[in-house]
Chain A
Amino acid sequence: ETGVTQSPTHLIKTRGQQVTLRCSSQSGHNTVSWYQQALGQGPQFIFQYYREEENGRGNFPPRFSGLQFPNYSSELNVNALELDDSALYLCASSPRTGYGEQFFGPGTRLTVL
């Protein structure tokens, strides 16, 4: 059984650029959530996708957007990057929406210069 995978591992961008992060959910999982973990802090919920629709969103501006594909993989897009967007971005999948436990990938470390 393959776990949650994310790509790329690391990424360096400059302020104002756009970035796309990718996530493959664990086999059989149809729900994907994204979290931002700034240095020294706990992860913060960005949004969740279920059956290709956004299914809940945290306190993040609209320049954070996402997609989920028919195979349940997902993308996180961030436009107009700001220095404060530098963080570890974590993807988590679960077997269905409403299932409490989530399974995390290793994360993508984004640095904005």
Chain B
Amino acid sequence: AQSVTQLDSHVSVSEGTPVLLRCNYSSSYSPSLFWYVQHPNKGLQLLLKYTSAATLVKGINGFEAEFKKSETSFHLTKPSAHMSDAAEYFCVVSVREYGNKLVFGAGTILRVKS
């Protein structure tokens, strides 16, 4: 089975400062990992994905994440936060052996202060 733990339920940063959202995963097989973002009353938008290629993955809007197998982590970072980044972020794992169903973490709400 696979699971995801997002280590912070809420993160607050000032505009222009770095963002770090932490995610640890557990999987019996080689996983695919994703970060999705959800703005209030909106659906889910894919930020980036790791699917066994390069371990440092770049996504949209300046976000990136690094897959670290030894630490079973897939933390999301951005060098400089923007007000529009305020949203809820979900770390997600899937494995081919389980039909590629997506298993979501509980989410991290990012607040950006002006």
A residues contacting B by CB (< 8 A) are 4, 33, 35, 41-45, 48, 55-56, 58, 90, 92, 94, 97-107
Q: Is the CB of B107 within 8 A of A56?
A: no
Q: Is the CB of A101 within 8 A of B49?
A: yes
Mark the stretch among B38-46, B64-72, B76-84 that contacts chain A: B38-46
**Nearest-neighbor residue (CB-CB) of B94 within chain A:** A100
B residues contacting A by CB (< 8 A) are 32, 34, 36, 42-46, 49, 51, 90, 94, 96, 98-107
Residue of A41, A90, A102 ringed by the most chain B CB atoms within 10 A: A102
Q: How many inter-chain contacts with C-beta < 8 Å in the A-B complex? A: 58
Q: Is the CB of A104 within 8 A of B99?
A: no
Could you say which residues of chain B place their CB within 8 Å of the CB of A104?
A: 36, 43-45
Contact status of A97 and B104, CB under 8 A, knowing A42-B90, A104-B43, A105-B43: no
Could you say which residues of chain B place their CB within 8 Å of the CB of A33?
A: 101-102
CA distance in complex: A33, B98 (Å): 13
Q: In whole Å, how far is A108's beta carbon from the nearest beta carbon of chain B?
A: 10
Q: In whole Å, how far is A30's beta carbon from the nearest beta carbon of chain B?
A: 13
Could you say which residues of chain B place their CB within 8 Å of the CB of A94?
A: 100
Q: Is the CB of B101 within 8 A of A58?
A: yes
Could you say which residues of chain B place their CB within 8 Å of the CB of A100?
A: 32, 34, 49, 51, 94, 96, 100
Residue of B99, B103, B105 ringed by the most chain A CB atoms within 10 A: B99
Q: Is the CB of B99 within 8 A of A43?
A: no
CA distance in complex: A41, B101 (Å): 17
Q: Is the CB of B42 within 8 A of A42?
A: no
CA distance in complex: A56, B51 (Å): 21
Q: In whole Å, how far is A37's beta carbon from the nearest beta carbon of chain B?
A: 8
Contact status of A106 and B34, CB under 8 A, knowing A33-B102, A100-B49, A101-B49: no
